[in-house]
């Protein structure tokens, strides 16, 4: 890659013009967000709009603040990469320095057309949370579950899902689930507010999520999550008060595949559950606290996408595959973590990981005063938690089994890894055998206290409805 100074030499002696050089760059990389009705603060759909912001454009692209694409250029080839080339950046700088000449606007490429305010076009199914949710001006972050009936008469497969709110500044992230019973929307809480405070998430099927900065995108290869008819879509929404009381509406756009996918989309996290059971505990002043988790694939898989999630003390995220022959592949590196841009990265072509590949997820946190994004001044101890000022972290991978027959082995291996790597899980296993009231070396469902049931049932790897001592020992 050329350094910017060298790339500038590629710019013609005649200064670039909007019509000939700049409009194509803006159309390709900017206007999807920089247009009316989208989140960007100003439009860039005409010459006059771009001319007024020419110097701002040059400044933010030189710093690579824009277009938002936190991933470094590594071994992976991502689809729809927004990263500008050095030559494109040099063109935008030269255009700004020349006072943004228009050129012959009659020859400028047409601005892309967008069907409506939804980036992916009109949804196949549009759902809305029944009532606005009141977010106070101040106070702790709020996590709330909303169940919405899926009005579909036949099984569909979800290719993409988009979220839209009238108050996007207080919506930090949304996790999506399916309640196959279709009854969760009938429940209410006693606090008089829409939605539910708590839901048994282990009884739901996770189908993805959205975080600040993430665009809606269809899964590659025609993949999608199965949506049973008469089920509920469940949203777990993280609200972050921002100093102004707001009544927040939520609309959800669902996009279906054109036909039933031939392979099932799978997900795994390193560490699992956004690090909830990893034991994240970052001392005040610690400049390089690491969270590292590894899982070895028991069967071949094809990775289709990867993304990361963490909060404000995180400074770096990376994912690496180490193949059975010892060679490695950099799957994702985010060298400068930005809480405001948490994107999903789809591989241009699936990345085959043969059986025995070790997948590593690594996050680095800087809890010192040198981290300008540290929410605490002076720094203080930070542990895992759901508040924005707490921390969490995972690398999240979407994949398919190379052979659909290997799905049970993959699921079994990952569940065992999740429990074995859990610091809470180890203590739980120590106590679990004492629950065997009849001495048959099996923990029957009726012997498991409700508060332990979710964790212990995950150890039932053969699906016989009980957790044997052998299954406990394998997970210890």
Task: Summarize pLDDT for 298-323 with one digit per residue, the tens.
Answer: 999 999 999 999 999 999 999 999 99
Residue 250 within any structural domain of the chain: yes
Residue 182 is part of a domain; what is its CATH number? 2.60.120.310
Rounded to the nearest 5°, which phi and psi values hold at 425? -60, -35
- Structural domain ending residue among the three candidates 208, 224, 256: 256
Which pair of structure tokens corresponds to residue 375? Answer: 């929410």
3-state secondary structure of 364: strand
Determine, yes or no, domain membership for 115: no
Average pLDDT over residues 216-243: 91
Alpha helices, H only, 351-437? 407-420, 423-432
Question: What pLDDT, on the 0 to 100 scale, is given for residue 5?
Answer: 46
Tokens of 69: 């694409």
By the 8 A CB rule, do 242 and 139 touch?
Answer: no
Measured CA to CA, the distance from residue 419 to residue 412 in angstroms comes to 11
Question: What value, to the nearest 5°, has the Cα angle with vertex 360 and ends 178 and 328?
Answer: 125
Same domain, 188 and 51: no
pLDDT band of residue 422 (cuts 50, 70, 90) is: low
119 vs 208: CA distance, rounded Å:
18
Same domain assignment for residues 303 and 405? yes
The closest alpha carbon to 407, from 296, 301, 270, belongs to: 301
- Could you give the count of Cα atoms lying within 13 Å of 392 in the half-sphere of its Cβ? 16
pLDDT digits (tens, 9 = 90+) for 179-205: 999 999 999 888 889 999 888 877 888
- 153 and 221 within one domain: yes
List Cα–Cα distances, 422 to 274, 361, 429, in angstroms: 12, 15, 10
Report the alpha-carbon distance of residue 121 to residue 159 in Å, rounded.
13
Looking at residue 228, its pLDDT comes to: 93
Distance between CA atoms of residues 141 and 132, nearest Å: 17
Gap between the Cα atoms of 209 and 290, Å rounded: 24
Asked if residues 283 and 381 have their Cβ atoms less than 8 Å apart, the reply is: yes
Judge whether 117 lies within some domain. Answer: no
Same domain, 227 and 357: no
pLDDT for residue 293 is more than 50: yes
Does any domain span residue 119?
Answer: no
Closest CA to 267 of 229, 309, 236: 309
Same domain, residue pair 415 and 395: yes
Question: Which residues, in sequence order, are bridge partners of residue 126?
Answer: 253
277 and 408 co-located in one domain? yes
CA pair distance 345, 46, nearest whole angstrom: 29
Q: CATH no. for residue 349?
A: 2.60.120.230
435 and 340 belong to one structural domain: no
What's the pLDDT at 7? 47
Q: Does 10 or 371 have the greater pLDDT score?
A: 371
Identify the pLDDT of residue 223.
92
Q: Do 94 and 215 fall within a single domain?
A: no
Q: How far apart are CA 387 and CA 373, in angstroms?
A: 15
More confident: 83 or 261:
261
Report how many domains make up the chain: 4
Distance of CA 47 to the CA centre of its chain: 34
Helices 54-62 and 86-97 cross at an angle (nearest 10°) of 150
Cα pseudo-dihedral 413, 417, 329, 343, rounded to 10: 110
409 and 426 both lie in a single domain: no
Percent of the chain exceeding pLDDT 70 equals: 91
Neighbours of 150 (CB within 10 A): 22
Mean pLDDT of 4-31: 77
The pLDDT, as a whole number, for residue 39 is 65
- pLDDT for the residue numbered 81: 83
DSSP 403: S
Give the domain-ending residue among 75, 107, 139. Answer: 107
pLDDT 10s digits, 37-54: 676 788 999 999 999 999
Check which CATH number belongs to the domain holding 437 and give it: 1.10.238.10
Assess if residue 113 is contained within a domain: no
Look at residue 68 in the predicted model and tell me its pLDDT. Answer: 84
User: Where is pLDDT greater, at 457 or 294?
Assistant: 294
Report the candidate in 217, 70, 60, 194 with the shortest Cα–Cα distance to residue 130: 194
In a domain, 112, yes or no: no
The reply to whether 305 and 382 lie within a common domain is yes
Residue 131: pLDDT over 60: yes
SS3 of 111, please? coil
Same domain, 407 and 369: yes
Neighbours of 11 (CB within 10 A): 18
Rounded to a whole number, what is the largest CA-CA distance in the chain? Answer: 87
Residue ranges making up the domain that contains 192 = 125-256
Whether the predicted pLDDT of 450 surpasses 80: no
Mean pLDDT of the chain: 88
138 domain residue, yes or no: yes
Question: Do residue 203 and residue 245 come from a single domain?
Answer: yes
Contact 330, 318 (CB under 8 A): yes
Among candidate residues 403, 419, 435, the one where a domain is terminated: 419
> Is 281 part of a structural domain of the chain?
yes
């Amino acid at each position: 890659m050329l350094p910017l100074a060298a790339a500038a030499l590629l710019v013609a002696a005649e200064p670039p013009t909007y019509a000939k050089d700049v409009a194509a760059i803006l159309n390709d990389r900017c206007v999807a967000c920089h247009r009316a009705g989208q989140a960007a603060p100003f439009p860039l759909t005409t010459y006059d709009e771009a001319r007024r912001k020419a110097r701002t454009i040059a400044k933010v692209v030189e710093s690579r603040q824009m277009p938002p694409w936190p991933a470094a250029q590594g071994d992976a080839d991502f689809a729809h990469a927004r990263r500008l080339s050095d030559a494109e950046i040099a063109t935008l700088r030269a255009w700004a320095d020349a006072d943004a000449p228009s050129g012959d606007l009659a020859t400028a490429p047409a601005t892309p057309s967008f069907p409506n305010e939804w980036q992916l076009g009109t949804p196949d199914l549009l759902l809305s949370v029944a009532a606005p949710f009141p977010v106070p001006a101040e106070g702790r972050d709020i996590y709330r579950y909303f169940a919405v009936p899926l009005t579909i008469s036949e099984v569909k497969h979800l290719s993409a899902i988009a979220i839209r709110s009238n108050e996007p500044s207080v919506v930090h992230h949304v996790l999506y689930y399916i309640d196959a019973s279709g009854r969760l929307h009938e429940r209410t809480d006693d606090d008089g507010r829409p939605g539910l405070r708590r839901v048994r998430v282990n009884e739901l099927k996770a189908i993805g999520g959205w975080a600040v900065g993430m665009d809606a995108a269809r899964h590659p290869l025609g993949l999608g999550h199965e949506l049973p008819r008469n089920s509920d879509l469940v949203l777990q929404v993280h609200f972050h008060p921002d100093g102004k009381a707001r009544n927040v509406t939520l609309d959800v756009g669902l996009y279906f595949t054109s036909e039933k996918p031939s392979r099932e989309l799978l997900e795994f996290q390193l560490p699992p559950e956004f690090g909830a059971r990893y034991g994240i505990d970052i001392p005040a002043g610690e400049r390089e606290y690491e969270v590292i988790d590894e899982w070895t694939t028991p069967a071949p898989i094809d990775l289709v996408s990867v993304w990361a999630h963490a909060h404000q003390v995180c400074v770096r995220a990376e994912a690496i595959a180490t193949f059975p022959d010892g060679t490695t592949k950099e799957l994702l590196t985010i060298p400068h973590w930005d809480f405001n841009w948490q994107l999903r990265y789809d591989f241009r072509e699936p990345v085959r990981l043969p059986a025995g590949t070790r997948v590593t997820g690594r996050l680095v946190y800087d809890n010192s005063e040198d981290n300008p994004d540290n929410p605490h001044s002076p720094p203080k101890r930070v542990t895992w938690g759901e508040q924005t000022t707490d921390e969490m972290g995972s690398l999240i991978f979407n994949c398919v089994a190379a052979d659909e027959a290997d799905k049970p082995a993959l699921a079994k291996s990952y569940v065992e890894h999740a429990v074995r790597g859990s610091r809470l899980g180890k203590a739980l296993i120590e106590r679990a055998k004492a629950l065997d009231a009849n001495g048959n070396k099996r923990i029957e469902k009726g012997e498991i206290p409700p508060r332990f049931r979710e964790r212990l049932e995950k150890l039932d790897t053969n699906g016989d409805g009980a957790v044997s001592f052998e299954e406990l020992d394998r997970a210890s």
